[in-house]
Each structure stands twice: as structure tokens, then as C-alpha cells.
Structure 1
Amino acid sequence: MTFNGMTVVGFESRMESELARLIERYEGRPIMAPALREIPLESNTAAYEFGARLMAGQIDMLVLLTGVGTEALFEILKTRYPWPSIVQALQEIVTIARGAKTVAALKAVGLVPTVTVPEPNTWIDLVSALDEYSLEPGVRIAVQEYGIPNNALVKALAQRGADVFPVPIYRWALPEDLGPMRAACEHIVAGQVEVMLITNAMQIDHVMQVLEQDGNVIPFHDAVQKLVVASIGPAASERLRHFDWPVDFEPSHSKMGILVKEVSEQAANILGRKR
């Protein structure tokens, strides 16, 4: 089973061409509409403030949410401090790694996380893993954020008496050219799309912003009920449900290649049920 000529919309930015090729490999017709523009926070005051606190022994735990964000945080710290000093400071605190990519980013620089949060590694899993530590009141926890702030996680830690310090690494802006996003949304509203792929939770917020600008929130909401909405994993699915958009498919592993392959095999059946 393949897409068999179905039109597939993807909002992926960083790996746009790879996703288009994957869709074509499984006989789909890609419409690519990058929804994110990455803004590295070179001047990110929170990361430098984290560095100062870390070096002064004022951080007890560090929660690392993403591999790319972990690598970026280390690069920022290296602009201020010698790498051996950073490693030594990190070895003296509890590090919590969410997901395989974060663990890999730590191992690449010779560090092993104190706690690894297992799949599907939602913020709830992360808090459960920390609960085993029986957090002391006032414990100082830095949370490396990536893309969208994880307010639910920060709130849950604060409710447990932690002094939480969010460290945003880089944020997303809308693309400068909204033409491809607008065109993709119009195709969806017109019923010309069979499958929509969500590969990052922030894509959903940006699509929503464009729909609000264009007055298309309700027509889009109605249209996605009739197509296959495939989500890369739990964080993206959580965001889809927040806007009452369907989650018709999640892959066995949160990888783009697996998402496309598996949804291509299931799309016809899912579509048959929905239409």
C-alpha cells in the first residue's frame, strides 16, 4: 500500500526537501508549505544567565527537552566558558534527558544523563520520572526549552515546590513568505488534500495564526475532519487536540521516514472510514 497519488501537505521547514522526496517515494503528491523560520538566540540572555548560575553552583537539576536544543545550549555556553569547566559543572548536578536525541547529544560530548525519560517521553512522563527523586522544596531546576515554552511542565514542577528557571534556546517565527502556507491551507479548505503531515508541534500554532489572519479557522477545522491528519508524536498530537483537530495517525516511532512510510500504508483505510 502507498499513497497511490494522494495529495499530501507537509509543513516541515528544516527537512522540507527530504520530506517531499519521502512523500514522492511512497507515491504521494507533495504540497510543501514550510511553517517555521528558526531564530537562533545568539543574544539569548536566559542561556547566559543559566551559564552564570551553573558555574556559581546555583543550579541543582537541568531538564533537557530536545537534542538540537541541548547542542545549541552547549554552543552558547562555550562562547563564555572553557568546555572542561562546563562539563565539570554539569557532572555535579542532576541532568534529566527527554528522548533518545537528547541522550545522544549528551553522549556526543562525553556526558551521561542522570535520568532518562522513556518513550513516549511527554512532559507527564518527565514529571513522573522526577517524582521518584522526591524533590525537596526550593530545588533549583533549569528547563531547556525549545520552540514553544512548555508551560504545563514548568507549572507541574513549581507545584512540587521547585524554583524553576526556563532557558529558551531558540524560538520560531512565521516564514517571511506566507504564500506557500496560505496556498496549502486553501487547498485543504477546498477539499483538494487527502493527508496532512504534522512533524513539529509549533507548526500547528503557526498554521492557526495564518488561518486567523485570513478568517479561515472554521472552514479549516471542518475540512481537516475529512482528511487524514498524521502526527509525528505525542507533543504534536497534544497540540492538535488543543485546537480540536483530529489525530488520525501516529507512527510506531517519532521519525519522519517512519511517519511517511506507515501513514502511506494506512491512509486509504483511514480516509475510507472518515468519508
Structure 2
Amino acid sequence: MPDLPLAGLRVGITAARKAAEQQALLERRGAEVVWAPALSTDPYRVDAEALGAMTAEVLAKPVDLLLGTTGIGMRTWFHATEADGTLDDLVAHLAGAETIARGPKTVGALRQRGLREDWVAPSEELAEMVEHLDGRDLAGRRVVLQEFGQSLDETAAVLRERGADVVVVTVYRVEDVDDAGPLRDLVRELVEGRLHAVTFTSPPAVRALMGLAEAEGLDDAVVGAFGSGTVAVSVGPVTAAAFEPWEVPTVFPDRSRLAAMVKCVEAELVARR
């Protein structure tokens, strides 16, 4: 059997979704995996009544600009309107809008319903979508901003300052983990220097871990651990940016994909070894 590149190394996983797939990829490389979900394993909980009201608000007036931020968010929204009978109306209503997508998954969700994107953020970052609108006259323009499990109030505020009439569509909210025990144990292993890397696949997972660390009085120790022996590995730049308030150094792959993140873990730990 060939040498396994991560043999003898311990990697923490904070993902709630696709954790088994990530664990298998890491264990195939020889890593010992510690799984501690930072969020609920059923995180995408939709308030059907509230979403229906938001859809009605979108349909009430013409839409000039649609900002689609996640594939799962757009698919969930379309599925919900399919269930309540407003899908055809929504698709027809959005067809006349200029559409900006955050990445290929969003593009796929739009095209599945016959909608076409006008521009896609190359880096898959929300900030780049906003920057793309710099210099544009948004006064009186009606903008629909699809929210992806976390508040986009700051983004909406920026667009409103430029004169836009912004409708934020909250498709789902990411819920906290039901049992924080495993995550608490992971934090303690982290500050004790027993983890070589910890992976993150969403900004809420970053905030959940750091929030728990603060509640335990271990936030400074966690920042110190990530600044020395343990690598914080994010699935992409959006997740990495969630660490900025704590100035935690992170690494992430060129493509925001699970397999690419695991390869990033391998490359980083092998290089440090």
C-alpha cells in the first residue's frame, strides 16, 4: 500500500451537510477525522408563509435587477413557488430583469427554470457582485436580493444608499446545531494543539465556532491556535472572509468545491510536514 499523505494527522470537520463525503475523502488520504457539526444537520429550514409573502412582494412590481447568490437558495425558492402555484408567474416576472449570479451553481438553478444570467462573479464573491454595480445609476431601480441563510442587510443597505428599491428575499435561515457538545470538544482539542487542520464550508459555521469559543472564554486561544500550528481551511473566499473579524489566517482552493478543499488540506499539511 502506498504511503498515505495525511497519515498520523488529525483534521476537524465542522460541516453539517456532506460531512460523510468529506470524511471519506480525508480518511482515504490517511487522516484521522474529528466531526463536530457547527450547524444543524437540517439547516435549511424554510418559513413557507414568510417566503410566500416575500414572493408576493416581488410580484407586486416589475423587477429591474435580480441578484442570485446561491444555487440552493434559488432552487428552494423556485420549489416553494412550485408548491404554492406561483412558479410560472415568478419565472415570467424575473425573465425581464437583468440577472447577476454569484457562481455556477446559481447559474444552474436559474437555467433549470429557463432564466439566463447576464453576468457571473468570477470569484463567486458577493462583494464582487456589488462592485460590478459600481458607477451604475440605481436610483429608482427595483432590486431583488436573494438571501442565503445569513443576513444580507449590509449589502441591501449599500444598494439602498445608491438609490435602489431593494427587496430582500429570505429563502431559508441556517439553524444552530442542536447539540453543541461535539463542537465544544473540537474547540478544546483545537486550543490544546491536537488538530492539524479544521475545515469550514460556510460563513455561518465559522461564526458558530468562534461564537462558541467566545462563550467559553477561549476565543483568544482559538485565534492563537489558528495562527500557529492548526490550519483553518475554507471551501472558498466567501467562507474565508468570515474569519476577518478575528484576523484568523486561512487557506482555500481556487475553486469552491469540496474535493478541491480536501486537496488544499492535503497540500497545506504535506508542505508544513
TM over 0.5: yes
Partner Cα distance (2:49, 2:12) in 1: 33
Aligned mate of 2:168, from 156, 160, 166: 166
Aligned to 2:61: 57
Relative to 1, partners in 2 of residues 1:268 and 1:48: Cα closer, same or farther, differing over 3 Å? same
Tell me if the contact between 1:103 and 1:116 (Cα under 8 Å) persists in the aligned partners: no
Aligned to 1:242: 245
Aligned to 2:39: 36
Partner Cα distance (2:55, 2:266) in 1: 45
Task: State the 1:116 CA deviation.
Answer: 2.4
Structure 1 runs of 4+ aligned residues shifted over 4 Å read none
Give the paired residue count: 267
Matched, 1:78 2:82: yes
Partner Cα distance (1:101, 1:194) in 2: 31
AA of the residue aligned to 2:130: V
Relative to 1, partners in 2 of residues 1:53 and 1:135: Cα closer, same or farther, differing over 3 Å? farther
Tell me if the contact between 1:42 and 1:76 (Cα under 8 Å) persists in the aligned partners: no
> Which residues of structure 2 form unaligned runs of 5+?
none
Task: State the 1:119 CA deviation.
Answer: 2.0
Aligned to 1:202: 204
Task: State the 1:186 CA deviation.
Answer: 0.9
- Percent sequence identity over aligned pairs: 27
Task: State the 1:128 CA deviation.
Answer: 2.8
Aligned to 2:6: 3
> Which residues of structure 1 form unaligned runs of 5+?
none
Aligned to 2:116: 112
Task: State the 1:200 CA deviation.
Answer: 0.9
Partner Cα distance (2:57, 2:137) in 1: 19
Tell me if the contact between 1:251 and 1:263 (Cα under 8 Å) persists in the aligned partners: no
Matched, 1:90 2:94: yes
Tell me if the contact between 2:62 and 2:142 (Cα under 8 Å) persists in the aligned partners: yes
Aligned mate of 1:22, from 25, 41, 51: 25
Aligned to 1:216: 218
Tell me if the contact between 2:63 and 2:94 (Cα under 8 Å) persists in the aligned partners: no
- Post-superposition CA distance 1:112-169 (Å, at most 9, x none): 12x222321222210232347x233121111111121134422321221112221111
Matched, 1:230 2:233: yes
SS in 2 for 1:229: strand
- Post-superposition CA distance 1:45-78 (Å, at most 9, x none): 2x32332133333432221100000011112222
1:249-264 equivalent positions in 2, closer than 5 A: 249-264=251-266
Task: State the 1:82 CA deviation.
Answer: 4.1
Matched, 1:175 2:191: no
Task: State the 1:266 CA deviation.
Answer: 2.5
Q: CA RMSD in A?
A: 1.8
Aligned mate of 2:107, from 103, 106, 117: 103
Partner Cα distance (2:88, 2:201) in 1: 36
Aligned to 2:132: 129
Question: Taking structure 2 as the reference length, what is the TM-score of the superposition?
Answer: 0.91
Aligned to 1:188: 190
AA of the residue aligned to 1:211: A
Tell me if the contact between 1:2 and 1:264 (Cα under 8 Å) persists in the aligned partners: yes
Task: State the 1:44 CA deviation.
Answer: 4.9
